[in-house]
Amino acid sequence: MTYNFGMRYVRAEDRPPNGDTPPGGHVDPAPMLGVWFATDKQSAGVVKLELAERDGAFVVRAFGSGTPDPLDWGEVPAVAYAKSVVSGEGMAVSAAYDFGFLESLLAAYTKGGILVLDTFNTFKDGSGRSAYFSREFFHR
């Protein structure tokens, strides 16, 4: 399944180009930190995302649409991703929420000042609701 040429890999992208030395494995989430607001003010999905570092840990706090106020989902650990194996600059993030009745996987990337969020939502409560996908856009 995997090859071994000094480093194991499953595709060319896993190998540092030109013999570059990997930066050590830490991806700095700093470029993504801040409060992100949904571009669609009528969104029925996630309306706000807070990306922060707390005691050295990268965390996400999401807010779902609700009336009269947005629903605070609380803070969960997040993983920062760079654009390559030799970059240390964060440009994407993933995080998972488990509400008991519902699991939501959040996966987002930043590009040109916009954050694009995909959510993969699976119900566990026997309500008969279908698993569903959403795609939403955010600005700071």
Closer Cβ to other proteins, 113 or 126, answer by number: 126
Tell me which residue has tokens 């969960």: 76
Token pair for 95: 């995080």
Contact 140, 113 (CB under 8 A): yes
Closest contact distance (angstroms) between CB of 106 and other proteins is 10
| Site residues (vs other proteins, CB under 8 A) | 1-3, 7-14, 16, 21-27, 44-47, 64-67, 71, 73, 79-88, 91-92, 94, 97, 99, 101-102, 104-105, 107, 109, 118, 120-123, 125, 127-135
Residue 78, classified by CB atoms within 10 Å of its CB into exposed (0-12), middle (13-18) or buried (19+), is buried
Closer Cβ to other proteins, 30 or 71, answer by number: 71
Total count of residues recorded for the chain: 140
Closest contact distance (angstroms) between CB of 52 and other proteins is 18
